[in-house]
Structure 1
Amino acid sequence: MTRQGAASVLARLLAAVALVTLVVLPAVVPRAAAGEPGSGSFVQIRIDDVTPDVVSTTSDPVVTVVGTVTNVGDRPVRDVMVRLEHAAAVTASPGLRTNLAGSVEQYEAVSDFITVAPELQQGQRASFTLSYPVQSADLPSLNIEEPGVYPALVNVNGTPDYGEPARLDDARFLLPVLGVPRDPAAPAGDSLSAVTPPDTSRPVRMTVLWPLADKPRLAAGVPGGTTPVRLADDDLATSLASGGRLETLLGAAEFATSDPVDPGGQLRSSLCLAVDPDLLVTVNAMTVGYVVNENPFGGIGSPTRPGTGQAAAAEWLDRLKALAQRVCIAPTVYAQADLGALRRVGDAGLTATAVTEPNDIVDQILGVTSVRGATLLGDGALTGSVVGLLSDATPVGQTVAVSAAAPSPQDAASDVVPPVDVTPRRYSPQVVAAPFDPALGAALAGAGAEPRTPSYLDSELAVPVRQDSEVARRQDALAALLWRGLRPDAEPRTQIVMPPLTWNLSAVDAQAMLTTAATAIRSGLAVPRPLTAVIAETAALPPAAAPPPEEPAGNPNARFSDGVIGAIGGTTGRLWGLTAALTVDERTGLTGPQYTAPLREDMLRALSESVPQNARNGLAEQRVRTVTDTVDDLFGAVTVVNPGGSYTLATERSPLPLALRNDLPVPIRVRLDIDAPPGMTVDDMGVIELPPGFLPLRVPIEVHFTQRVAVDVSLRTADGLPLGESVRLSVHSNAYGKVLFFITLSAGAVLFLLAGRRLWHRFRGQPDRADLDRPSRRPDPVDTALAHSPDDP
């Protein structure tokens, strides 16, 4: 065989091996979650519509699922087919999450596959529609016989180019069934196809917390009294305007609790607005005009541009004030600060700002009396450290912590996730927990345009959410909201609906959530339970305290670093010291606490749980660094003016002239610290109230030397914190010392005696001995000439 022939055979052999590899490998590659990076998926399936979204005895008896299959791979896919599958009703709340990922063994086919497209090229998509009755004796159906929450799955099969037929993707969702409608194909008088209503013998007592919160928007490092107010960005202008996130949430609550929609006020009794006081402070400041920092963390020195949301802020705030007159309202933790991290900071004043002062802020801005006695943790977990913080912050009375329930211990020999215990319990004399189901919270967090996994969620319940469509995630949230009402055997018969505080819903999603809650009440599955009732009932628990909950593992990136905690503690301590020294400016009414309050609140904004977990430490470091620089500038703004020359003291008691400068907009109480050399005594001037501007002073001193010396002068607060920079003065003293004083006194005495002796001798007509050796006075030549003048007679 020639060399060329051998090369040709080798080439054909390699091509055959490559072809076999391409044919075999796609069949054995495991399917990854659709849309996940690096998954190697060939197609992606999306649920576009589910009708009806909630099945009832009066709804359409046929469930229709509309979706799309898209070729997201690197090759064509042939024989693309889909099939609807379903599973048994969820019997424990963890199943609301675990059925949405992992094993598919619990699912059964509703019918055979139907072909969506003979072939899909790269990037091509094809739509499908699957319609099946809820129940039927003759037709393929979902075979649902009683109310409940049923997992459903749309499976897609296909044959990738160079591959074999395989299951390529699936899309899952939950279907809530309030009541089973009759078989559409059954005769009108067929008793076997009668409707099945829900069991309303044990309705769940439901409390709905509707969040109005946002991540911190005020620019970092800007003290109070700064006008116009500075924002880090102008995103609130969009969020508060028509169609924006916050406007959508507010509008949905307005509509759902209005008299025409909720004539009996049942939903209104169940619903309470959970408002972040930091958001109220920001929006209230926007109503009088504001600017936006070009550099979000540039502090007060950053260039600015005009804000565009003043009108939207004013309108939104007016609507909220009107709604707050007829709906319960309760504050969240200030800026949604992480209370576990705040416990590590260990600052009692900062803790009070976070958990005890928000009610007063809400009352003042909205003109209402907000609900007291509850701490809405929202996205944070109730841990032992948080219990300790709340216990210390509530020395009198008690607080009800509304937070996610801790996961129940799991049997190591079982793969089944145990039910979550949401029974209220007391952890200390001051702290009682009113837990909500984390599976419900996670389902709500997955809804909307920005799905997320809460930090409190146990890893066993965490499922990928971003690959699912908004429709599928909405279905999961509605089903989770209704699940406890549809399970009369689930204990306890109470339910707190706590979505993520920075919930981002479309108008359709927001309306669906509140409509479903109202439907549960109207259908008898639920009854209203006001937040005030939650507080009263939970607070009445026996005094025996349960062991504090353990710290959850969670996402390690969600934990604030020790460096951030230490920086916050150090800066906050200095800030409290400065605040204690500040007084009131009588001209403007600005007080010291008002001036430094935004900087203290910045420390809470740095610990906000509204920030994505993986970005928390980085953003916190930037904010704290900016605030620390501002605090340094505030301390440096109060100082002794350097004269640039020297002082000369005329006498030993000449006062030392000084000038003090205060560039703060409020007076400050200071003390002079003068490092006097030996021989100089300085009178203590006590506490000096230094007004804004310059203040000349004359410091009483006493000097006992004649020389040039250096005197160091500095300022401190009344409590001893150093202010500004010390100034070295050059002082020259002409004052006499004690020796010179006695010499001068002796010389004066001698002079007095000598003058007295001379006068005594003259009085007696005797020559003085001091004049005996004095030469005689020579005649003046002019006198002699005049005496011998020729003109004399």
Structure 2
Amino acid sequence: MTILSEFPRSPASGPAVGRPGHRRVRRVRALTGAVLAAALVTAAPVGPSGPLPVAGAQIHREHPLVAGPADGWRNPSIRENDATSGVEVRLTAPVGAVELGSRQLVGVTVVNHSEEVVDELSLRIQRAAGVPDTAAARVALTDDQSAYGYTGPFTDVPGPLRPGEQVTVSLPVDTDPTSAGGLDIAAPGVYPVMVNLNGRPGTGIVSYLTSERFLLSVTGPETGRPHTPAPEGDRVEVPGVTMLWPLTARTGLVAGETGEAPLRAPLLLEDDDLAEQLEEGGRLDQLLDAYVDATSGEAGTALRDATCLALDPQLIEVVDRMRDGYTVTTERPSPVAGTPRLRDSWRADSDSPRPEQAGSGTVAAANWLERLRTVAEQGCTVALPWAGADINAVTRTGNQWLIREALTRGTSVVAEVLGTEPERNLVIPLSGYVTGSTTDWLPLADTTTETGVDDPESAWEALQREGLPTVRRPTDTAALEDPTMPDPYPREPLPTPANGVRVLVTDNSVWDAPVRGRFAGLGPGVTGVTYQGSLAATLAATGPEPLTVGYSNPETRHDPNLDSGPARLTTGITAIRLAVDAARTTAPSGEGAPGTEEGQSVTPPEPVIIVPPVAPASPSDSAALLGTVADLLSSGRARPLSLHEATTPDPDTRTVLDRSVPPGTGDTGSRRFGAPFPDPSVPSDREILAAAQQSNYMNDLTQLMVNDPGIALTRYEFMRPLMLDLLRGLTVIGRRNAEGYAAATERADHLFTLNREMLEKLQSSVALLPPGYVYTRVSQSSPLLIVARNGLPLPVDGRISYQGPPGSVVHVPEQLWIPAKGSIMTQMTADLPTRPDQVTLVLRLSGSQGSVVSDPVEITVQTQGPLIGLLGRLLIGLLVITLIVRLIRTRIVRRLRGTGD
């Protein structure tokens, strides 16, 4: 709902905000936003991005509020003139808090991107009414310029500006309420500010050209004074603050990796970009330096207690492997390729060599990781989903092992590599919300079980011993070719996690869930911990790649690049201060306060959980956000709160919420929460289908192999890297940006393609080899011989399944044990019909539960006919004649011996 603010008109201002015309504009904007949202919800098209592995795939969407990837990035009714202007105005640096009654100069640069000369340029500062919270601030920043009715004087800009030229000027921000040229600010607060640019383009007339917008913080005479002073005699309760500090980066790992043992597989990276970020002065180096500097010493203790390193476990694992050396290449050798013959190696010398080089970041990786270990030992760490995977997209595959890897693998990696205990049982969906089907899977995130089975491989082997349930129905089609979209819900409700699972979600994504304070009941043993979606959406727009998040209201979705980086950073810093001040509670003091004891607060303030964007963040912008939290703590406007304390409900709250939610599975009607608005950044159904096909086939192939005590490598370790590749393909990082979504889906397509090619190589390495000719049987009892080959590094325990014409019965061996990197010959007997003369049998190699693993092979058998009958009779006749001759010969020999005696 649009927030309308009425405030008096300044004598020197432009049009009054409260006038009927302005209200009509707001109504039109609200209607436009509502129509846009309704259209997106109704259409929900499937995006063109991502691979469609097979034709005729069944496409569907689980939730009607999930939009197609091409929709919903922009509300065209917001700042239309700014979006089409060929002239840009931008701040030269972020604007800090301004003390009430002071005057501050702000640097502004005007750039002419148009193809015509712009003349008679002038700038002025305008402001709108103060805003009480971040939700109102986001709406105000998208308002029509008429809402910014309090204005300062115009400042002429030197001109004219020719195409491509720019000029920088200084503008006064006057907060003195007695000044004739001021902004008429009478009290401390947070005010939306617009830098208005007027000019004459070409041969036109002087008119409004564009604007730059940001939130301005105006403080009281005392440094850091809250913008809403408490009544005299009352006591202010300051909120606790906790902030995530994300460390993520694209690793460039070459897709298609398989596990090795006892040594780790050689690390292959597509490029050396990660090394540049780790080296001194690189992005990751600066991010870590900023955190170390801010949390060092006694002054940094409070900030260290109020922050938690949110780590991408894939990044940590790759950096750890970089220390041992790595290769930069674009190709990955096949793990099932045979040993080349000498003549093949001679021929290979004439081929174009694979371009590769030794990586240069070995030392930088070791140094950076050692510094990170030191920091992690002194404070809080928490693992993000692997490679920033979209948890909702992962659960849509319906593959519990892929889900387990996304939810739990990171915790073990952080613990092993950094030697510290990370926060457990806390899921941080980077989309900001979870769906009903996702919640049904979240009990798998419990890594503090009493049985100690806290990693996917242990869970796999435990269930295997009990008879592992397959993730899909066995069919005559290999999982790689299955066109059916998976059911995103578990087949049966998962056990309630004994220690509870918490999930960080925005406050507007639990719209129909039972709520108690900041906690929401999402499922049995699954508690949602809410944070301010309006604050998170505002922070998401900071940095060099501003984001459009799926939980933001479409009415406020405009191109964030209309405002410069310094302006967006100013808004983000001010939004943090505004959120903290708005969270304060005022406690009546003294006797007679209704419902309270002396000095006791009525309602303790809810903590402010700050979730910066998990994106290629700018080190300087991130440091500024971190410094803002440090200032709030040092000034006493907030108190430090650990992430564990902020996200852990008390036993009573957890009990009440658990009793309020119905159990799963698949009950979307009674458990309504998730994306509050259409999310344009979700992976497409094509990508979900590709991940489902490949992960299901990985499970079938893993189940086909058998662990061997004499081989250090286990079957799950061999397949795990391929599972992690799928999580990289379903990452959130890079998708939540209108300009970057297409490139992100292209990277996912490339990754899925390479992963599938590797799976096809593994598939072809385990095969039944047909004889290559018509198999002619002398009689019905003649055996059929076939060779089974295994190129995998572990033995295979398979079954032979067959298809043939009616009446065909093939007696196959109950078990087919094929040694690692070896082959065996097996025989079968068959009862086949005598008509037709030739029978074609289709044989497949399957797992013990019937899942097809190998490609089908055909054997043509000559069963009966004139030639076969004649040959059979001739053979029998020859056998009879041979027996008769041998009998006669034996008698003659005996008679001659008798005569000789």
TM over 0.5, shorter chain: yes
Report the equivalent of 1:609: 732
Q: Does 1:396 align with 2:396?
A: no
With over 3 angstroms needed to count, the CA separation of the structure-2 counterparts of 1:75 and 1:382, relative to structure 1, is: same
Instruction: Give the stretch that moved more between structures: 709-718 or 394-403.
Output: 709-718
RMSD over aligned Cα, in angstroms? 4.6
Q: How far off its partner does 1:145 sit?
A: 4.6
With over 3 angstroms needed to count, the CA separation of the structure-2 counterparts of 1:592 and 1:141, relative to structure 1, is: same
Q: How far off its partner does 1:235 sit?
A: 2.4
Instruction: Give the stretch that moved more between structures: 578-587 or 204-213.
Output: 578-587
Q: How far off its partner does 1:472 sit?
A: 0.7
Q: Does 1:44 align with 2:88?
A: yes
Equivalent in 409, 413, 419 of residue 361 of structure 1: 413
With over 3 angstroms needed to count, the CA separation of the structure-2 counterparts of 1:402 and 1:673, relative to structure 1, is: closer
Partner of 1:170: helix, strand, or coil?
Answer: strand
Instruction: Give the stretch that moved more between structures: 753-762 or 71-80.
Output: 753-762
Paired with 1:300 and 1:404, the residues of 2 have a C-alpha distance of 46
Paired with 1:685 and 1:385, the residues of 2 have a C-alpha distance of 39
With over 3 angstroms needed to count, the CA separation of the structure-2 counterparts of 1:32 and 1:344, relative to structure 1, is: closer
Q: How far off its partner does 1:144 sit?
A: 4.1
Q: Does 1:137 align with 2:178?
A: yes
Q: How far off its partner does 1:690 sit?
A: 1.0
Equivalent in 545, 566, 584 of residue 660 of structure 2: 545
Letter in 2 for 1:362: V
Equivalent in 564, 568, 572 of residue 473 of structure 1: 568
Partner of 1:282: helix, strand, or coil?
Answer: helix
Report the TM-score, using the length of structure 1 for normalisation: 0.77
Larger relative contact order, structure 1 or 2 (CA cutoff 8 Å, min sep 6): 2
Equivalent in 334, 340, 345 of residue 386 of structure 2: 334
With over 3 angstroms needed to count, the CA separation of the structure-2 counterparts of 1:685 and 1:108, relative to structure 1, is: closer
Contact (CA 8 Å) 1:401, 1:433: kept in 2 or not? yes
Report the equivalent of 1:451: 546
Per-residue CA deviation, residues 90-138 of structure 1 (Å, 9 max, x unaligned), is: 1132122122222233424453212222543443333221234533535
Q: How far off its partner does 1:628 sit?
A: 2.0
Paired with 2:181 and 2:85, the residues of 1 have a C-alpha distance of 34
Contact (CA 8 Å) 1:434, 1:538: kept in 2 or not? no
Contact (CA 8 Å) 1:134, 1:180: kept in 2 or not? no
Contact (CA 8 Å) 1:248, 1:505: kept in 2 or not? no
Paired with 1:325 and 1:735, the residues of 2 have a C-alpha distance of 83
Report the equivalent of 2:754: 626
Report the equivalent of 2:74: none
With over 3 angstroms needed to count, the CA separation of the structure-2 counterparts of 1:445 and 1:700, relative to structure 1, is: closer
Asked which structure has the greater CA Rg, the reply is 1
Report the equivalent of 2:465: none
Equivalent in 266, 273, 284 of residue 228 of structure 1: 266
With over 3 angstroms needed to count, the CA separation of the structure-2 counterparts of 1:254 and 1:364, relative to structure 1, is: same
Q: How far off its partner does 1:759 sit?
A: 9.2
Partner of 2:378: helix, strand, or coil?
Answer: coil
Partner of 1:396: helix, strand, or coil?
Answer: coil
Paired with 2:760 and 2:195, the residues of 1 have a C-alpha distance of 61
Partner of 2:570: helix, strand, or coil?
Answer: helix
Partner of 1:377: helix, strand, or coil?
Answer: coil
Paired with 2:417 and 2:320, the residues of 1 have a C-alpha distance of 7
Report the equivalent of 1:684: 813
Contact (CA 8 Å) 1:422, 1:437: kept in 2 or not? no
Equivalent in 545, 557, 563 of residue 686 of structure 2: 563
Report the equivalent of 2:318: 282
Paired with 1:650 and 1:595, the residues of 2 have a C-alpha distance of 45
Instruction: Give the stretch that moved more between structures: 78-87 or 293-302.
Output: 293-302
Report the equivalent of 1:321: 373
Q: Does 1:723 align with 2:854?
A: yes
Q: How far off its partner does 1:685 sit?
A: 6.9
With over 3 angstroms needed to count, the CA separation of the structure-2 counterparts of 1:393 and 1:218, relative to structure 1, is: farther
Partner of 2:560: helix, strand, or coil?
Answer: coil
Report the equivalent of 1:594: 717
Q: How far off its partner does 1:504 sit?
A: 1.3
Report the equivalent of 2:164: 123
Instruction: Give the stretch that moved more between structures: 349-358 or 719-728.
Output: 719-728
Contact (CA 8 Å) 1:82, 1:114: kept in 2 or not? yes
Per-residue CA deviation, residues 258-314 of structure 1 (Å, 9 max, x unaligned), is: 12541xx21111111111222222222322222334379999999442233333222
Partner of 1:466: helix, strand, or coil?
Answer: helix
Q: How far off its partner does 1:610 sit?
A: 1.1
Superposition pairs of residues 30-109 of structure 1, within 5 angstroms: 36=83, 39-41=84-86, 43-51=87-95, 53-55=96-98, 61-109=102-150
Letter in 1 for 2:305: S
Size of the aligned set, in residue pairs, is: 703
Partner of 2:92: helix, strand, or coil?
Answer: strand
Report the equivalent of 2:238: 203
Report the equivalent of 2:698: 575
Q: How far off its partner does 1:87 sit?
A: 2.8
Q: How far off its partner does 1:744 sit?
A: 8.4
Equivalent in 188, 207, 220 of residue 179 of structure 1: 220
With over 3 angstroms needed to count, the CA separation of the structure-2 counterparts of 1:535 and 1:45, relative to structure 1, is: closer
Paired with 1:557 and 1:493, the residues of 2 have a C-alpha distance of 31
Letter in 1 for 2:435: T
Report the equivalent of 2:247: 212
Q: How far off its partner does 1:637 sit?
A: 0.9
Per-residue CA deviation, residues 61-93 of structure 1 (Å, 9 max, x unaligned), is: 433211112333343333322212223321132
With over 3 angstroms needed to count, the CA separation of the structure-2 counterparts of 1:667 and 1:735, relative to structure 1, is: farther
Paired with 2:162 and 2:363, the residues of 1 have a C-alpha distance of 50
Contact (CA 8 Å) 2:302, 2:640: kept in 1 or not? yes
Report the equivalent of 1:13: none
Contact (CA 8 Å) 2:220, 2:227: kept in 1 or not? yes
Report the TM-score, using the length of structure 2 for normalisation: 0.68
Contact (CA 8 Å) 1:407, 1:421: kept in 2 or not? no
With over 3 angstroms needed to count, the CA separation of the structure-2 counterparts of 1:549 and 1:114, relative to structure 1, is: same
Per-residue CA deviation, residues 331-386 of structure 1 (Å, 9 max, x unaligned), is: 11222222222232111111111113321222122221111121101234223333
Equivalent in 299, 311, 326 of residue 363 of structure 2: 311
Per-residue CA deviation, residues 506-562 of structure 1 (Å, 9 max, x unaligned), is: 3x3222111110111121211122111123226734234366444537556533333
Contact (CA 8 Å) 2:430, 2:732: kept in 1 or not? no
Instruction: Give the stretch that moved more between structures: 631-640 or 667-676.
Output: 667-676
- Which protein is richer in strand relative to its size? 1
Letter in 2 for 1:535: T
Equivalent in 430, 436, 461 of residue 384 of structure 1: 436
Instruction: Give the stretch that moved more between structures: 753-762 or 390-399.
Output: 753-762
Report the equivalent of 1:249: 287
Contact (CA 8 Å) 1:178, 1:198: kept in 2 or not? no
Equivalent in 514, 522, 531 of residue 634 of structure 2: 522
Per-residue CA deviation, residues 237-271 of structure 1 (Å, 9 max, x unaligned), is: 22222333322222221221112541xx2111111
With over 3 angstroms needed to count, the CA separation of the structure-2 counterparts of 1:123 and 1:393, relative to structure 1, is: farther
Report the equivalent of 2:63: none
Q: Does 1:347 align with 2:396?
A: no
Partner of 1:463: helix, strand, or coil?
Answer: coil
Q: How far off its partner does 1:174 sit?
A: 1.0
Report the equivalent of 1:11: none
Q: How far off its partner does 1:475 sit?
A: 0.6
Letter in 1 for 2:792: L
Partner of 1:599: helix, strand, or coil?
Answer: helix
Partner of 2:639: helix, strand, or coil?
Answer: strand
Paired with 1:250 and 1:588, the residues of 2 have a C-alpha distance of 40
With over 3 angstroms needed to count, the CA separation of the structure-2 counterparts of 1:149 and 1:746, relative to structure 1, is: same
Partner of 2:134: helix, strand, or coil?
Answer: coil
Letter in 2 for 1:365: V
Contact (CA 8 Å) 1:50, 1:64: kept in 2 or not? no
Paired with 1:676 and 1:95, the residues of 2 have a C-alpha distance of 70
5+ residue gaps, structure 1, are: 1-29, 183-193, 411-419, 766-793
Letter in 1 for 2:817: I
5+ residue gaps, structure 2, are: 1-76, 338-352, 444-492, 586-602, 662-669
Paired with 2:209 and 2:517, the residues of 1 have a C-alpha distance of 38
**% same residue:** 26
Contact (CA 8 Å) 2:583, 2:607: kept in 1 or not? no
Report the equivalent of 1:499: 612
